[in-house]
Amino acid sequence: DGGITQSPKYLFRKEGQNVTLSCEQNLNHDAMYWYRQDPGQGLRLIYYSQIVNDFQKGDIAEGYSVSREKKESFPLTVTSAQKNPTAFYLCASRIDRESGPQHFGDGTRLSIL
């Protein structure tokens, strides 16, 4: 089945550590996105990538980094510079930059120990 796979489902981080969240899609979509969701709030865009080897900052990129070395993969690293990393992280993809809706993975919940 085609879809977007995020792993792990739950992740715990010690203060001062970097952690990487995985997002893989087999939909052959060009564009991929990372969002952060806090309780009772909507989704806020962290980073997005319209094509392999290219990505742009979203609205809340500080303390995060990404890479897009392969079309199907868009990992997100939460660095120690992100002072409030506890949140639900959602990855999405879209067939191309101009058309079609975004489709989401099932999310990764990150908590600080």
59 interacts with other proteins by CB under 8 A: yes
52 interacts with other proteins by CB under 8 A: no
Q: Which of 19, 46, 90, 110 binds other proteins (CB under 8 A)?
A: 90
22 interacts with other proteins by CB under 8 A: no
Q: Which of 34, 47, 48, 74 binds other proteins (CB under 8 A)?
A: 48
26 interacts with other proteins by CB under 8 A: no
The two beta strands, 10-13 and 108-112, are parallel
DSSP-assigned beta bridge partners for residue 77: 20, 65
Q: Which residues are near other proteins by CB under 8 A?
A: 4, 6, 31, 40-43, 45, 48, 50, 58-59, 88, 90, 92, 94, 97-98, 101-107, 109
